Amino acid sequence: MEDTSLLWLLFLTSLLSCPTNQASLTVSPSSSQMFKEQPVSLSCEEDDSSAGWTLRRNTTRKTRAECKDWGGISAGSSCNISYISPSDSGVYWCESREGATSNSINITVTGGPVILQSPVLPVMEGEDLTLLCKTKWSSNLPAGFYKDGSFIRTEPAGHMTIHHVSRSDEGLYKCLISSVGESPPSWVSVTGEEVTFDFRSSFIQIFT
């Protein structure tokens, strides 16, 4: 029993002394789909710049590529692309020198006439999800929305809101504007409510 307690103490002390080294990736415009030839800016928002956060991406051409590899203009831990192209489609994330990673963002760049604007980050259970279907020139045309290949409904002004999302709303969405075209599909993920575990209070509970 004494030995077990000592091991727990060592284990919890190591957790407590672990530095919280985090970054989150943001993208502007904040959309998982984009039309080609538009400017895009990606940024690692970090709480400790000394950790040396680098923006990386995986595309079909190259994995773990850095901003300078893909012709972006890098400024600190941000990267600006002046004309995004379909070959820039892929998954983007920030990585520290020690290998810690941020959230990752999937970006689809299309040369087609329609995009679906969906959230780049997972939607929390119970929140509202708004999807916008647009052409380059107009964002209020009637649009049909699809999930996992099945038609949901037509919205007269091009945007669809799902209230109080649940896990079952997670899936692959796309939209269609008749006589213009269809968007690429994008995955929308739904996460449960955030649970934070306080090591300090559990420490106190075990040892008092």
Ligand X SMILES: *[C@@H]1O[C@H](CO)[C@@H](O)[C@H](O)[C@H]1NC(C)=O
Residue 187 binding ligand X, by CB under 6 A: no
Residue 51 backbone dihedrals phi, psi, to 5 degrees = -75, -10
Q: Select from 21, 26, 58, 191 the one that contacts ligand X (CB under 6 A).
A: 58
Q: Which two tokens stand for residue 164?
A: 């109080």
CB 26, min distance to ligand X, A? 16
C-beta of 42 vs 141, nearer to ligand X? 42
Cα separation, 198 vs 193, in Å, equals 16
Cα separation, 124 vs 186, in Å, equals 17
Neighbours of 33 (CB within 10 A): 26
Residue 6 binding ligand X, by CB under 6 A: no
Residue count, binding to ligand X (CB under 6 A):
6
Residue 75 binding ligand X, by CB under 6 A: no
In this structure, which amino acid lies at residue 119? P
- What is the secondary structure of 90-148 as a DSSP string? EEEEEE-TT--EEEEEEEEEESSSEEEE--SSPEETTS-EEEEEEESS-S-S-EEEEET
Distance (Å) of CA 73 to CA 43, 83, 191: 12, 11, 33
CB 106, min distance to ligand X, A? 9
C-beta of 106 vs 154, nearer to ligand X? 106
Q: Which stretch binds ligand X (CB under 6 A): 2-10, 57-65, 77-85, 193-201?
A: 57-65
Report whether 182 contacts 176 (CB < 8 A): yes
Q: Which stretch binds ligand X (CB under 6 A): 56-64, 71-79, 178-186, 199-207?
A: 56-64
CB 125, min distance to ligand X, A? 23
Residue 63 binding ligand X, by CB under 6 A: yes
Residue 53 binding ligand X, by CB under 6 A: no
Residue 132 backbone dihedrals phi, psi, to 5 degrees = -120, 130
Q: Select from 35, 53, 70, 93 the one that contacts ligand X (CB under 6 A).
A: 93
Cα separation, 143 vs 159, in Å, equals 8
Residue 91 binding ligand X, by CB under 6 A: yes
Of residues 103 through 122, those in contact with ligand X by CB under 6 A are: 104
CB 58, min distance to ligand X, A? 4
Give the residues lining the site for ligand X (CB under 6 A).
58, 63-64, 91, 93, 104
